[in-house]
Amino acid sequence: MDCGVITSKTVLLLLSLAFWAAAAGLTYVGAYVINTYRSYDSFLQDKYALLPAVIILAIAVVMFIIGLIGWCSTFRESRLGLGLFLAIILIIFIAEVSAFVLGFVYREKVKADVQVTMRSVFEKYDGKSEESTIMDYLQEQLHCCGVKNYSDWTTTQWFNATGNNSVPLSCCMQEMNCTGRLDQPQELYTRGCADELESGLQSVISYAMLVILGFAIVKFFGMLSVCVLTCRREDSGYQPLYSGVFA
């Protein structure tokens, strides 16, 4: 075998191993994105924002099998197997590019989506409903208060109904000795939840996009290696040491 064939086989074998490692990595990324969105799904109207994560998980499901096909086909230099491997890589490459584009689109839509839906949930706060529990959880986890800042609570029906000039205790930096009263602002979170949520969701999407882009680049070089290996084999008449079912 010449240097080009050896290099191509090495790349493809490493790519097969990368498929197995990527299966675990993509599963983690996809699950993390979905879990993050589910934590704040009441603030997101556009459920298609989960589409990039769903695509990532779908790719991860078949990743181990694809790695096995690639390993066996490369080791045996099966023309049919390598052709199948190339087709699979091409399909995944297209899916990853699509996920990358969708991630970019929805990353830009997050800000408008969060602003509208958060305001709707915020105005329905009564301290008892499911929406109220979600709002309290959001403020506690993100260390924020209100949509823009804690003064937003003064315009809500809940604030007027209680009449004690205070915000929910979830706005307190420390629960001990904090009553949520507006005349003690030093005890309250000052940043609004909209900015915190937007920043968090955009960071998650950006991370997922970076991972997708990295794997897409690897797939591109893998497709080139398959082409080199099959073309060199046909041109040189080289016969592999092992013959397989797909040879």
pLDDT value for 246:
43
Q: Give the span between the Cα atoms of 12 and 32, in whole angstroms.
A: 29
Task: Please check the confidence at residue 245 and state whether its pLDDT lies above 60.
Answer: no
Query: Terminal CA-to-CA distance of the chain, rounded, Å?
Result: 17
pLDDT value for 53:
76
Domains in the chain: boundaries? 3-236
Rounding to the nearest 10 degrees, give the CA dihedral for residues 7, 13, 15, 17: -150
pLDDT value for 232:
62
Tokens of 125: 């706060």
pLDDT value for 179:
83
Identify residue 131 by its one-letter amino acid code. Answer: E
* CB of 227 closer than 8 Å to CB of 86: yes
Average pLDDT, the chain: 77
Q: Give the span between the Cα atoms of 182 and 175, in whole angstroms.
A: 15
What's the DSSP call for residue 174? S
- Lowest pLDDT segment from 36-50, 96-110, 164-178, 204-218: 36-50
Task: Please check the confidence at residue 227 and state whether its pLDDT lies above 70.
Answer: yes
What's the DSSP call for residue 149? S
172 strand-pairing partners: 188
For helices 51-61 and 193-236, the axis angle rounded to 10 degrees is 40
Put residue 177 in one of left, alpha, beta given phi > 0 → left and psi -120 to 50 → alpha: left
Q: Provide the percentage of residues in the chain whose pLDDT is more than 70.
A: 84
Put residue 237 in one of left, alpha, beta given phi > 0 → left and psi -120 to 50 → alpha: left
pLDDT value for 192:
87
List the one residue out of 142, 132, 158 whose CA is nearest residue 194: 142
List the one residue out of 144, 141, 113, 140 whose CA is nearest residue 42: 113
188 exposure class (CB count in 10 Å sphere: 0-12, 13-18, 19+): buried
* CB of 142 closer than 8 Å to CB of 193: yes
Tokens of 157: 């029906």
Q: How many CB atoms lie within 10 A of CB 81?
A: 21
Q: Give the span between the Cα atoms of 131 and 129, in whole angstroms.
A: 5
pLDDT digits (tens, 9 = 90+) for 77-120: 777 877 888 888 888 888 888 888 887 777 777 767 777 777 87
List the one residue out of 201, 32, 54 whose CA is nearest residue 114: 201
Q: Provide the percentage of residues in the chain whose pLDDT is more than 90.
A: 0
Task: Please check the confidence at residue 6 and state whether its pLDDT lies above 80.
Answer: no
Is the pLDDT higher at 238 or at 99?
A: 99
List the one residue out of 200, 199, 198, 192 whose CA is nearest residue 144: 192
pLDDT value for 79:
77
Q: Give the span between the Cα atoms of 230 and 244, in whole angstroms.
A: 15
